[in-house]
Chains A and B, each alone.
Chain A
């Protein structure tokens, strides 16, 4: 076990955590402002990845692929908000779960219809492929490093949007009191569509960025969706700060757990058994983390409301 390995895995954890944040931020924002639980958020992640892969394949440009991911996911988000989601704000959570579950079925099967069951490939752009040498002599894939920096930049942008802009004031007001923003003369319908499309764009961006290192396929969104749920349960629903902290915790726990837990068990178990036990336990690690947070703080680390 070397320092290099530890550092490399730490960066990997950071990378998956920051991508998770892009998913979780949209979910938690949508819940915080509109009170909606959206299972179809993973579908928007998938839409982003497919848009990116298709556009990149057609134009040969990864950057255009990202633009397509943002635009495609935002458009899909705005569309389902206008057609379906806005009918759900006044409904109970059960109806929201069912309707957005139906949306998953429609999105997944629709994508399969258009693109088939085989995965698409989205290549890492030429300029970002290959390793980069970090201070300390560690070789690390440049693309993954870029993901971390890009994700952090988006996070900073999001915090700025919410803390410093007019639309941010409206979002924060909306979290506290719907009637108040109506009294401020804000068009709530438009604000809600905007927030939903914003969350969708973030999810689509994450899908495209991650799609380049994993494969782009139907069903890719739901495992990430569930991780994002774990993230916001840990961070506290409605809190962007909580989403960031939760995402990093989940990303690091998941990555470091799968590498180091088997090693840890080898200290006092036979190697084969240690690998098995370590693998089983690391697959459960983030859920155990979630359970511990729940016992300690049922409303999450930064959650205010019960």
Chain B
């Protein structure tokens, strides 16, 4: 077992044990904090499939996060107002059921990722970064102008949505759901990295000419990766909306897209647990430095600058040593 695997297991153990302890000690706020960290981790794990393996620096992943959030918001809004979503040509009702909401969130964000990918993956490098950022802003302004669903103010959902057999209002139960989603996504990410698709996508990042020369199309590989990546980030968005029982255009904001990338880098690029470590660290720092100084973003910016300029490899690189090629 490598040091990195050991470290990953330790992180996972912490994610199970800490909230359990908080539950027993009756500190619901700590559980909420952990839930936030786990959901942001999930969003960044989604991005990491496109960025880490495929090298796609998407600065617009908040789009999918926001779409997932609005999928939840819209369905629950219609359900709580007993107002069907549409009546013709066929009836669609709102819902308060998490599995249905998740399905809608995943499908909608995957579709958005497919369309944005079709347009933006025609380009590469700095064009791709700018275009994904621009599409993110497009969704942001669209959400602001969409007054039927709250416009700039967003919408509140009064009661957290339900999951069969669980009481999602109990913080630790909702946390469990979120953690399960994260673990599944990590498992999928780990499998994908070693799979045929991962092999081809990883090569398409490094030597696209070679990938073409063996008969594979880098564009299609990237498009599939981008779509899956968007879908997972979309699921995180739906969970995030349920955590806050609130959605607003800020879920689409470009700062959030930037933060997702930051999570991955702080944790360590191309590391399975990189986004998790980065997101958890971010939430912890935000909470503690934020409590100590009103201007915590300065310190965070300096930390980030330091990591980018001098500390390549992120936290996991620091702890677990150089990455190895998986054989």
Q: Do A and B come from one complex?
A: yes
The smallest C-beta distance from A31 to any residue of chain B, in angstroms, reads: 6
A52-103: which residues lie under 8 A (CB-CB) from chain B?
84, 87, 93-95, 97-99, 101-103
Q: Which residues of the other chain, B, contact A112 by a CB distance below 8 angstroms?
A: 295
The smallest C-beta distance from B127 to any residue of chain A, in angstroms, reads: 6
Chain A contact residue count (CB 8 A cutoff): 43
The smallest C-beta distance from A264 to any residue of chain B, in angstroms, reads: 16
In the complex, the answer to whether A287 meets B308 with C-beta atoms within 8 Å is: no
Indicate if A109 sits at the interface (CB-CB under 8 A).
Answer: yes
In the complex, the answer to whether A294 meets B119 with C-beta atoms within 8 Å is: yes
B37-77: which residues lie under 8 A (CB-CB) from chain A?
51, 57, 59
Chain B residue at minimum C-beta to C-beta distance from A282: B145
The smallest C-beta distance from A276 to any residue of chain B, in angstroms, reads: 6
Chain B residue at minimum C-beta to C-beta distance from A236: B127
Q: Which residues of the other chain, A, contact B305 by a CB distance below 8 angstroms?
A: 84, 99, 102-103, 106
B116-148: which residues lie under 8 A (CB-CB) from chain A?
119-120, 122-127, 129-131, 133-135, 137-138, 141-142, 144-148
A105-B254 contact in complex given A37-B129, A87-B309, C-beta closer than 8 Å: no
CA distance A116 to B296 in the complex (A): 14
Chain B contact residue count (CB 8 A cutoff): 44
Q: Which residues of the other chain, B, contact A226 by a CB distance below 8 angstroms?
A: 133-134, 137, 254
CA distance A39 to B129 in the complex (A): 11
Chain A interface helix/strand/loop/mixed: helix
A207-241: which residues lie under 8 A (CB-CB) from chain B?
222-223, 226, 229-230, 232-233, 237
In the complex, the answer to whether B134 meets A287 with C-beta atoms within 8 Å is: yes
Indicate if A295 sits at the interface (CB-CB under 8 A).
Answer: yes
In the complex, the answer to whether B262 meets A98 with C-beta atoms within 8 Å is: yes
Indicate if B261 sits at the interface (CB-CB under 8 A).
Answer: yes
Q: Which residues of the other chain, B, contact A110 by a CB distance below 8 angstroms?
A: 295, 298
In the complex, the answer to whether B261 meets A98 with C-beta atoms within 8 Å is: yes
In the complex, the answer to whether B258 meets A101 with C-beta atoms within 8 Å is: yes
In the complex, the answer to whether A99 meets B308 with C-beta atoms within 8 Å is: yes
A92-128: which residues lie under 8 A (CB-CB) from chain B?
93-95, 97-99, 101-106, 108-110, 112-113
Q: Which residues of the other chain, B, contact A200 by a CB distance below 8 angstroms?
A: none
Chain A residue at minimum C-beta to C-beta distance from B59: A97
Shortest Cβ-Cβ A-B pairs, 3 listed: A105-B301, A287-B138, A106-B301
Besides A226-B134, A226-B137, A287-B137, 12 new A-B residue pairs in contact (Cβ under 8 A), listed by A number: A84-B305, A98-B304, A103-B301, A103-B305, A106-B298, A233-B131, A233-B134, A279-B145, A280-B145, A283-B145, A284-B142, A294-B122
